[in-house]
Amino acid sequence: MKVSIIGTGYVGLVTGACLAEVGHEVICVDVDPRKVDMINSAEAPIHERGLPELLKRNSGRRLSATTNLAAAVADTEITFIAVGTPAANGKIDLKYVEAAAAEIGRAIRDKAGYTTIVVKSTVVPGTTIGVVQSAIERASGKTAGVDFGLGMNPEFLTEGTAVADFTFPDRLVLGGIDARTHDVLRDLYQSFDDSVPRIETNPTTAEMIKYASNAVLATMISFSNEIARLCSAVGGVDAIDVMRGVHQAGYFTIRHGGERLTAPICSFLEPGCGFGGSCLPKDVTALVGQGRENGLSLDLLQSVLRINGAQPDEMMRLMGLHYQSLRDVPVAVLGIAFKPDTDDIRESPAFPLIRRLKEQGATLTAYDPIARPSEHPDLAGVRLADTLREAVAGAKIVLLVTRWSEFSALDGLLGELGTQPLVVDGRRVLDPSSFAQYEGIGRA
Ligand code: UDX
Ligand code: UDX
C-alpha cells in the first residue's frame, strides 16, 4: 500500500521504516527539513537499534521523506498522524495533532477517491472522533465514513527496542469508525503473523487501550517503588528479592501449553529512581487531566505520579546517610537518557536529581554514552564527561541513574582508579559487595 506518515519522530520514523521494510511504499513527512534530509540520505536522526539498517535498505526505494504534506497525502492511500502530543498544564496539548488533521483535510479537499486517515499519536480517548474528525471535515468539506476512513492505531513501541517491537508485535489494536476503515487497516498489517492478536474496535476504545497500557506500567513501577521504600525502612529485606518473588506468581507468568515460561527479570516491577520518557509521565498526567475534566478524581494514578516525583528524594536520602552536606562534594551522575539504548532525554529522572544536587551545592559531572544534551538548562554548570572513567575520576559520590550496560563495569574501573566513592545505585544493577560504600534503592 502507499502510506504517508505525518511526523517523523521516535514513533513516526520507526513506523515508516518498518512499514517500508514489510513492502509498503512510505512517504515520511516532517516540518523539520533537517530530519527530512537525513532520512533521504539514509541517516537516522535518532539513536534507535536497527533503524540505520532499515534506512539503508529502504531509503530512496520504498521510503522517502518530504516537508510537503499535501503532496504526500495526495499520493497515498492511508495517512498516519504521528506528531508529538506534549503535556501542558497537566493536560495533553493536541495542537500539533489538530494542525496536522486540518492540513490533511486541506490536502484531501480536491483529492479524488477514498482515503484513510489514522491517528498513531497517543491521544486522550475521544480525540479521534472529536478533534481530529471535525478538523478534517471542516478543512476538507468531506464526511468521515463516506469520503474518507478514520482510524486510531496506537503504537506499543519501547524506545531502544522499537524496531523489534514493531516487527514482532504483542498485539495490533485497530480502531476504526466503520468496516471500510477496518478493511484498510487489516490490509496494511496483512504480512504480520496470524498468531498476533488483533483487537478490532472503535477509535475511542483504541485510544483508551493505549493509555490504560501505559498507566498500568507506570502503576507497577510506582507500586514497586513504594514497596521498596517500605523494605528500606523495615530492614533485613531487599525489594529486588521481593519483586522477584512477586513476579513468579501465575498472573505474571507466560505459560505455553503446560509449560511455565518464567520471565527472567521483573519487568516493570523494578524499583528505581523513577520512570521517565516521553510516554509514561505524560500519559498518566493526561489521563488524570481527562478524569478531572469529567468530574473524576483518579486517585490511584495521582498517587502513581506523586510517588514517581519523590523518587529523586529517595536518592538524596541515601546520600544523606553518608553526607550531612553536599556542598562542594564532587558527584558523578551516570546516565542522562531516560532509559538505556536511546538518546531520548525527555522527562529523564536525571534532571530532577541534578536540580536537587545543584540546590545542595554539589560539584556535578554527568556522563551518558549517547545522550549529550549540552544545551539543556538543567545541565548549565554541570561538567559533561566524555567517558565513564573521566566522569568518576575524583568523584566522592557516584549516582547510577540509567541502566546502561556500560555502567556494570564500574567496580573494575574504580579498582583501576584506586578510588572508593559512595555508590548510589538508582537501578539496582551493581553488586553491592564490589564496592566499599554502596547504597541502593530498596535495600535495608
Ligand atoms: C510519539 C507520539 O506521537 C506521541 O503521541 C506519543 O506519546 C509518543 O510518541 P514522538 O515520536 O516521540 O511522539 O515525538 P517526537 O519525537 O517529538 O516527533 C514528532 C515529530 O513530528 C517531530 O519530528 C516534529 O518535527 C514533527 N511534527 C510536529 C510535524 O511534522 N508537524 C507538526 O505539526 C508537529
Ligand atoms: C513505554 C512502554 O513500555 C511502551 O509500551 C509504550 O509504547 C511507550 O511507553 P518507553 O517509555 O520507551 O516505553 O520505555 P519503558 O521501558 O516503558 O521505560 C519507561 C521508564 O520506566 C524508564 O525511565 C525506565 O527506566 C523506567 N522503568 C521501567 C522502571 O523504573 N522500572 C521498571 O520496572 C521498568
Q: Which residues of 353-370 are buried (b: 16+ CB within 10 A; e: fewer)?
A: bbebbbebebbbbbbbbe
Q: Identify which of 3, 84, 13, 79 has the alpha carbon closest to the alpha carbon of residue 43.
A: 13
Q: What integer is the mean pLDDT of 271-292?
A: 95
Roughly what angle, to the nearest 10 degrees, separates helices 280-293 and 203-234? 110
In the chain, pLDDT over 90 holds for what percent of residues?
91
For residue 7, the ligand 1 atom closest to its alpha carbon is: 21
Closest C-alpha residue for ligand 1 atom 33: 96
Q: What integer is the mean pLDDT of 423-436?
A: 97
**How are the residues of the chain apportioned to helix, strand and coil, as percentages rounded to the nearest 5?**
45, 15, 40
Q: Which residues line ligand 2 (CB under 6 A)?
A: 155-159, 214, 217, 221, 268-270, 272, 275-277, 279-280, 338-339
**Roughly how many angstroms between the first and final C-alpha of the chain, as a whole number?**
57
Ligand closest in space to the Cα of 347: 2
Q: How far is the CA of 98 from the centre of ligand 1 (A)?
A: 13
pLDDT (0 to 100) of residue 90: 82
pLDDT (0 to 100) of residue 254: 67
For the chain, the maximum distance between any two Cα atoms, rounded to a whole number of angstroms, is 73
Ligand closest in space to the Cα of 286: 1
Q: How confident is the model at residue 258 (pLDDT cuts 50, 70, 90)?
A: low
Query: Grid coordinates standing for 262?
Result: 518464567
For residue 270, the ligand 2 atom closest to its alpha carbon is: 33
pLDDT (0 to 100) of residue 261: 64
Residue 46 has pLDDT above 80, yes or no: yes
Q: Which residues line ligand 1 (CB under 6 A)?
A: 6-12, 30-32, 35, 82-85, 96, 99-100, 121-122, 278-279
Interacting residues of 59 by C-beta distance below 8 A, sequence separation 6+:
39, 40, 41, 42
pLDDT, one tens digit per residue, over 161-205 is 999 999 999 999 999 999 999 999 999 999 999 999 999 999 999
pLDDT, one tens digit per residue, over 318-330 is 999 999 999 999 9
pTM: 0.94
pLDDT, one tens digit per residue, over 4-37 is 999 999 999 999 999 999 999 999 999 999 999 9
Query: Grid coordinates standing for 218?
Result: 507506570
pLDDT (0 to 100) of residue 264: 52
Closest C-alpha residue for ligand 2 atom 31: 270
Q: How confident is the model at residue 401 (pLDDT cuts 50, 70, 90)?
A: very high
